[in-house]
Structure 1
Amino acid sequence: MRIVTWNINSLRLRLKLLERLGEELRPDIVCLQETKVPDELFPDEAVRALGYAHIQHRGMKSYNGVAILSRVPLTPLDDTPDWCARSDCRHIAASFALGGASVELHNFYVPAGGDVPDPEANPKFAHKLAFVDEATSWFTGRPSRRTILVGDLNIAPLEQDVWSHRQLLDVVSHTPPETTRLQAWLACGFVDAMRHFVPPEEKLYTWWSYRNRDWKASNRGRRLDHVWVTSDLTASLQNMTVLRDARDWPTTSDHVPVAMDFSA
């Protein structure tokens, strides 16, 4: 069972790249963020033509949006909160069968937070912190078993998740108010599945800014995309792939897909 998470940065604009993703990684389930398409305009027919017969999506015009595309049956989980009472399409969840039992899958797009890391001066940063606090509280109150959480969490929590820990300490996505909150959310009962395969002392990135003329040469990346599992699923983890080559695809996203393999 292969699950891929990818901030596609506009599904309709990059539908051909979703097809290429399928050819490169052959995922069973794809979790997308920043689909940027309202539900009534979601390209269901085109997505089903790529082999994803089971589709869930939650979207709005021009911004945000999340979707789960699957080759295996999904059961929607509809008891999720309206985060920060904004109805801004940042979370979708479903269950599916893995290893003969049901698994919950949560797909998140956490707010980016703007440019100023001050919640009083920057409402976007305040929203981001409040969102993570709410998510942490909600998952603390839920049983921590057979759950997978993926998505663009817009925070690089570890020193080796950014190209320069020292220079990015006051840059949104790596500031202490964000990283400590993300670690608290992780501690609700999750394991960082990507760091299960790549030790914390090694560099690991999933995002490179469009502002870098030669992203590969400068390699000023951050790990903003994550895969977490509850501890009862760690024995099922088989392999992890960060598809760095996707950053060079034509008109691509600034994020690259992350694939996690589980024993079925």
Structure 2
Amino acid sequence: MISVATWNINSVRLRMPLVEQFLKEAAPDVLCLQEIKCQEHQFPAKAFAELGYEYQAIHGQKGYHGVATVSRLPMSEFSRHDWQDNGEARHVGVEIPSAGGLVLENVYIPAGGDVADREVNPKFGQKLDFLERMTRWSEKIDRPTLLVGDFNVAPLECDVYDHKALLKVVSHTPLEVETLGQLQAAHDWVDLGRKHIPAPERNYSWWSYRTYWQGKDRGRRLDHMWASPDLAAQSRAHRIAEHTRDWEKPSDHVPLITEFDV
């Protein structure tokens, strides 16, 4: 059995105490982080190693974005793609031999700005192009693969607190949902969040800092764990560590954890 967690931490150095608390509590074998917001030499590698996560693959940049995968199991870096084609650190892939050669791809898809129109908002176009490049990549995958991270898209009507109110809001527009659907179809990816927590059951992973998160529960399901069909058949449990959103100075995202019989 192997357990994998994913979490947009929104600054790993600022929130390392929360990461430590989560690792001691949930004890995943592997943790994938997005938005680490630091360069590779600034990553708290020693702190992770002291917690037992000595194997690390870090793709960072100064002040923004960045992804990192840390593991208690031996692993090696497998891939590093620039799907936005602009040098931003948004992906790192690893291979875990003891898990049957599992390939684990950790991605931070661009948020896309505030206006859902690539003509007036280049960031929205970059997001769509990023997803399109990932789609072409997905078509060529020939190994059991787990794709996790902050996708910045809530695809289903029940993945947001108010479907009609958010139809024109970036992260839930029909164009983004359609584009993400093409990515999913390219490899027959299985959405583990909805395999284990079927729609329309509530399944949020993000709440804005701007609104009181618990009282109004204005959540969206922006974080995802997708598996190749053969790997998905081996997933046995999936949960959302929603309580971490109530910790002191939390990330606006919460971790997802999936367990596999591999």
Band of TM-score, shorter chain: over 0.9
**Structure 1 residues 129-168: aligned runs within 5 Å:** 129-143=128-142, 145-168=143-166
Answer yes or no: is the 8 Å Cα contact 2:53–2:70 preserved in 1.
yes
Q: Residues 15-30 of structure 1: matches in 2 within 5 Å? A: 15-30=16-31
C-alpha distance in structure 2 between counterparts of 1:132 and 1:235, whole Å: 25
- 2:76 pairs with 1:56: no
Matched residues in 1 for 2:75 and 2:191: separation?
24
Give the match for residue 38 of structure 2.
37
The match for 1:185 among 174, 183, 192 is 183
1:210-244, CA deviations, whole angstroms, 9 ceiling, x for partnerless residues? 0112x112111000000000110122111111011
TM-score scaled by length of structure 2:
0.96
Counterpart-to-counterpart distance in 2, 1:193 and 1:237: 8
**5+ long unaligned stretches in structure 1:** none
For the aligned residue pairs, the C-alpha RMSD in angstroms reads: 1.1
Deviations 1:60-114 (A, max 9, x none): 1110000000000112113x43223211000000111355x21110000000011
Q: How does 1:1-264 map to 2 (within 5 A)?
A: 1-78=2-79, 80-97=80-97, 99=99, 101-143=100-142, 145-189=143-187, 190-213=189-212, 215-264=213-262
Q: 2:227, 2:131 → 1: CA distance? A: 17
Inter-partner Cα distance in structure 1 for 2:81 and 2:44: 26
Measure the CA separation in 1 of the matches of 2:85 and 2:242.
35
| Stretches of structure 2 lacking an aligned partner (at least 5 in a row) | none
Q: Secondary structure at the match of 1:116?
A: coil
Q: 2:95–2:101: 8 Å Cα contact kept in structure 1?
A: yes
- Give % identity: 44
Q: CA separation in 2, counterparts of 1:153 and 1:128? A: 10
2-structure distance, mates of 1:44, 1:61: 16
Which whole-Å deviations, capped at 9, do the CAs of 1:134-173 have from their partners, x for residues lacking one? Answer: 1111111232x31000000000001110011111000000
Distance 1:177 1:255 in 2: 23
Distance 1:199 1:98 in 2: 30
CA distance in structure 1 between the partners assigned to 2:133 and 2:44 by the alignment: 31
Structure 2 CA distance for aligned equivalents of residues 20 and 97 of structure 1: 27
Task: Provide the rounded CA distance (Å) in 1 between the counterparts of 2:191 and 2:42.
Answer: 34
Distance in 1 of aligned mates of 2:54 and 2:236: 25
Whichever residue aligns with residue 12 of structure 1, its letter is R
* Counterpart secondary structure, 2:41: helix
CA distance in 2, matches of 1:38, 1:6: 18
Structure 2 letter corresponding to 1:33: Q
Q: Which amino acid aligns with 2:176?
A: E
Distance in 2 (alpha carbons) for counterparts of 1:210 and 1:6: 16
Give the deviation of 1:6 after TM superposition. Answer: 0.1
Normalised by the size of structure 1, how large is the TM-score?
0.96
TM-fit CA distance, 1:47? 1.3
Q: How many residues align?
A: 260
> In the aligned structure 1, how far is the partner of 2:81 from the partner of 2:65?
16
SS at the partner of 1:85?
Answer: coil
Q: Which amino acid aligns with 1:120?
A: E
